Amino acid sequence: MAIFSVAKWQSKTCRFLNARDNPLVLDIDTLLTAYHFTGKSDVQKQKILILMLYICTQWLVTKSKNNWRRPYVSDLIGQIEIELRTPEMLQTTQDRIGIGDITLKEDPIELLQPKGRSIKYGLTGGTTFTRLSGHSAKAYVERQADCVDELKILALGNAGQGLQKNLAYGGERQARHLDLGDDNRFHLNHDPAAYTSPDAVPDLCIIDPLELIYVSSIKAAGKFHHSSFRSGKPVVFAGELRVLQGSVNYINSLSGHYMPSMADLLRAVTILQVKYRCDLTRIRIKNGANMKVEWTSADQFLTRRGILPGSDLISGAAQ
């Protein structure tokens, strides 16, 4: 997935002639211009991507969930995360860590943090880019995943208003964590048995800012809601997820609290594919805004960005 061009980003985020006066949005203009300027090395591109990831996150956590720019900022975040996982970017990270027996003392996450961003790029959004140490950042990751997970923690910085508190693994929340095991199947809180949604009914589900998945079979009003997972704090996605013997076979974007957009659903499916290696051909999808329409294949849903011809839709299909 290509990173937005400057022209496309500006057209998506400009509703009226003088509507693009948000300093964070203007900072993204500046960084996109720098990113697409010819002659950039992979290292330079990587630093710009990380900085854009941080600023986009800062924008998301300071704006309401109904802000009309949210789908486009979420789309850009998804594009950046996919780009940071490309073989070229991963090789760039490896090259900067060291080759063979020669390694640098600094942790790779420290090496990737851009310094002097305001002076270098002339940014005016007023964001405070906190330089976390690699050791501190890794402390928030439950187990070793990939470099992008650590970069995402870095990008959150102070935007999460208390990273350790917001992302802490409390006992109750940890018990709802759906993790991919070595058998390539999902397990609930490290249970040896592959997870299956009780009675084949979809669980409540959220994906948090680190792309960790949490589920709950409790849906009773007044007892447990989507907002219960993170006490109402921002999430990447909220909806329902059904798992059978460790494999996801259904997802929807139904959440009255977070009201996820089509962009949020597309991002959730991308995460299932890229981070969790799910077989999208076996996953059915419903859009929470119109539960009468079902996509029979998440692969087709993602390829066509949620717009499918009538032959690929099932109207009024049962879950």
> Residue 261 and residue 239: Cα distance in Å, rounded?
11
Q: Which two tokens stand for residue 259?
A: 């009201």
Q: How far apart are the first and last CA of the chain?
A: 30
- Cβ-contact 267, 74 below 8 angstroms: yes
Q: What are phi and psi of 239, to 5 degrees?
A: 175, -140
| Domain residue limits, the chain | 1-168, 169-319
Best CA proximity match to 113, nearest among 93, 98, 91, 94: 93
Give pLDDT, residue 145.
Answer: 44
Give pLDDT, residue 197.
Answer: 93
Give pLDDT, residue 16.
Answer: 66
In sequence order, what are the residues at sequence separation of 6 or more whose Cβ sits closer than 8 angstroms to the Cβ of residue 236?
Answer: 206, 207, 208, 209, 211, 264, 267, 268, 271
- Cβ-contact 239, 254 below 8 angstroms: yes
The residue with tokens 């500006």 is: 10
Best CA proximity match to 261, nearest among 222, 303, 306, 295: 306
* pLDDT profile of the chain (319 residues), mean per 10: 88 74 88 92 86 82 78 86 81 64 50 65 72 50 50 54 39 78 90 92 87 82 70 82 95 86 88 90 88 84 75 44
Give pLDDT, residue 135.
Answer: 52
Give pLDDT, residue 220.
Answer: 55
